[in-house]
Amino acid sequence: MLISKFRRRLGYLTLAATASLGVWFAQVPVSQADLTATSPVLTDRHGVSLNVRTVENGTWRVQADLENIDPAFIEALIEIEDRRFYSHAGVDGAAILRALRTWQESGIASSGASTLTMQLVRQYRPRPRTLRSKVIESFEALRFELHYSKPEITEQYLTRVSYGGNIEGIEAASQIYFAKSPRYLSPEEIALLLALPQAPEARRPDRNAQAAKLGRGRILKRLETAGFISSREFANADAAPVPLEKSKLPSQAWLTARKLAKSGDKTHSWLDPRLQLRLENQLSLTVDRLPHPVNASAIIVHAETREVRAHAAIGRRDHDGGWLDMTAAIRSPGSTLKPFVYGLGMDDGLIGTQTKLRDAPSRFGSYRPENFDRRYYGDVTMAQALQHSLNIPAVGVLDHVGGRRLDAALRAAGASPTHSGPSDDAQDAGLALALGGTGLRATDLAMLYTAIANDGIANPLKWTQNETELSSGFELLQADTAQSLRSVMSSAPRPAGVMPAHLGKNVPDVAYKTGTSYGFRDSWAAGITGEYVIVVWMGRPDGGPRPGVTGRAAAAPLLFQIADSLALDQPVQTTNRPEHMAERLKSAEEIGPVILFPMNETEIAMNAFGETSEGIDLLVQAEGEDIRLYVGEAPITKGRNGYRFKPTAPGFYDLTVIDEIGRKTKGKFRVVSLKDFRHPGL
């Protein structure tokens, strides 16, 4: 009797201790150690993903955003996985009682009673499916519910739920299986995304399409029974094929992504996707055409805003260092600093653009520079000396300005000159600075030339959209000096094969300067064209020489090629124009509505028309809220899933988009019957 009473009391004490421990544990904050990393994502200036990288073990795990997920999917998820999600505190008591009753009656644990929160806990720390694990998961679920809201728990669940292989989370799964965002999902897509986590490996559509289709069908039937879809929608969705191949996640701008994107973050850059893709292609073609392994890198900056709009470095894979970020490498800038030497001389009142300078063999103390071609031209104007990159006049001007003065000015502007002496400070700066006797990064040069484009005011480059706006900057040069330098550099002789701006109607004006480091190790070209600043570097990543290869011969043609392509997107300027800065480049939204899908002249194959048609999602980008869409003469109203058009028959259709201030964009697309459609490659 005493033993029985003792055991009963011991049981009560154990139960009370366990409950107390559970309450204490539930109140312990969730630490970052409890959270797993998510894929770094880099977006362009419009917020569209440019680059997504994997996390540990090559897993694609993109942070979910409820605002970017179809609400119909969220409703279906709650219906299928956890009906009382919004009413319980992490543990569903009714579901547990139901599971225990089923287990007692059948002897088989056929109902798991796991809530979404408990499943989230299991995603963080997988455990064996035992009663002990369930108890632990229940307490941890209570802890998560105390420290996170229901939307936050839903987002975390949809970030980490497995979709087979190395795919986790709805964003990655939708992009890989459907090649689109989960913002708008069809019933069959919703059902597949709900069926896959129940058996991620067994139902992978790329490996077991039949199992994926069967699992999707079961979910569709449950959704039909619950009234989420109609019988017709069920039939159409169940008959739809499952995706057999996986798409790739965005991988553009890998260099910038590696530089900016942090684990778990979505980094909003200022990159322009058109300029970025074009620049990468231009660098790749340039490198591929060269007979010897070489790297090429370039950066394009929107001068007025200092936003980095394109950034790339390309190298051939058949040599070491082919994929290094050479825009961040410290290299000798050659003669690209000469404009700043002359600029400081002009600020000090020592020279003007027409001041005569002596170009003849000269000695400055123990330093005896020579011109690159070892020719001397006697008396030349400062403009001629800069345009032809003569060394002796530049060193002569720096002898009066002072090497330490130039070094200090560059540092105050935000550059980081690195000298070859025992210490890295202004005391080591000498006259060799005029000829590239220091180390700079391409990003430093881009910032310095952007100062020339902005009437002498230097400010840091802007890489991401969360950087604070600077109200003022450092006056590296006076405004009239910067304007004079732009005019002089615009009139410099162009490389062989490049047409002067005044001879062609659509040839852009480029104020530029080239540079070649000692031993032909680095080829540079930096320039200002219209709204943009461009810096190009070419060379070997190991610093090896390329005898006879100059900045004028190697980097300048690429600079002008980039400038020509930029002229397609902005007003062309000539040297006759007094103002060298163009009007600000207008975005697509400012110009007018943009039809994202279907693009003009697109052909779309469909297997049904009219009411049985799945419809075509019309994606547009336009200013304001009052947007009107018409297919032919018929207006298209915006529904829960956006603008959707159901063609009644095959044929050609005209699409018109009008924004709230009346700007109009038109496009044309063709719809064909799937049974009559033949891929041109078949």
pLDDT in tens, 559-601: 999 999 998 766 545 444 333 333 332 333 445 787 867 877 7
Catalytic residues: 81, 335
The residue segments making up the domain with residue 20 are 1-30
Please name the residues in contact with 276: beta carbons below 8 A apart, sequence gap of 6 or more.
44, 50, 252, 253, 309, 310, 311, 312
Residue 91 maps to a domain:
yes
Helices (H), ranges, 48-115: 71-81, 93-106
101 and 165 in a single domain? The answer is yes
17 and 152 in a single domain? The answer is no
**pLDDT attached to residue 577:** 37
**CATH number of the domain encompassing residue 661:** 2.60.40
**pLDDT attached to residue 317:** 61
pLDDT in tens, 73-101: 999 999 998 888 888 876 765 555 555 55
pLDDT band for position 11 (cuts 50, 70, 90): very low
First to last CA, the chain: 87
126 and 19 in a single domain? The answer is no
13 and 161 in a single domain? The answer is no
**pLDDT of 651 above 70:** yes
Please name the residues in contact with 205: beta carbons below 8 A apart, sequence gap of 6 or more.
177, 192, 196, 212, 213, 242, 243, 244
Domain boundary residue among 182, 217, 239? 239
Residue 211 maps to a domain:
yes
Residue 73 maps to a domain:
yes
Residue 291 maps to a domain:
no
Domain boundary residue among 188, 215, 239? 239
Q: How far is CA 439 from CA 477, 628, 655, in A?
A: 21, 56, 55
Residue 513 maps to a domain:
no
- 141, 121 contact by CB (below 8 A): yes
pLDDT in tens, 352-368: 999 999 888 888 878 88
Task: Supply the DSSP string of 489-528, one letter for each residue.
Answer: HHTSPPPTTPPPGGG-TTPPP-EEEEEE-GGG-EEEEEEE
**pLDDT attached to residue 625:** 75
- 403, 429 contact by CB (below 8 A): yes
What does the pLDDT average to over 225-248?
Answer: 93
**pLDDT of 443 above 50:** yes
44 and 3 in a single domain? The answer is no
pLDDT band for position 25 (cuts 50, 70, 90): very low
Residue 183 maps to a domain:
yes
**CATH number of the domain encompassing residue 122:** 1.10.3810.10
Tokens 């005029």 locate to 434
Tokens of 96: 């547990």
**pLDDT of 681 above 50:** no
Q: Which helix (H) or strand (E) holds 301?
A: strand 295-302
Helices 273-289 and 556-566: angle between axes, nearest 10 degrees: 150
107 and 234 in a single domain? The answer is yes
Residue 87 maps to a domain:
yes
What does the pLDDT average to over 107-118?
Answer: 63
124 and 18 in a single domain? The answer is no
84 and 20 in a single domain? The answer is no
pLDDT band for position 325 (cuts 50, 70, 90): confident
166 and 21 in a single domain? The answer is no
pTM, two decimals, is: 0.73
**pLDDT attached to residue 580:** 32
Chain centroid, CA 203 distance in Å? 32
Tokens of 290: 């060269």
Question: What is the SS3 assignment for 139-167?
Answer: HHHHHHHHHCCHHHHHHHHHHHCECCCCE
**pLDDT of 10 above 50:** no
70 and 154 in a single domain? The answer is yes
**What total number of domains does the chain contain?**
3
150 and 71 in a single domain? The answer is yes
**pLDDT attached to residue 344:** 96
What does the pLDDT average to over 475-493?
Answer: 95
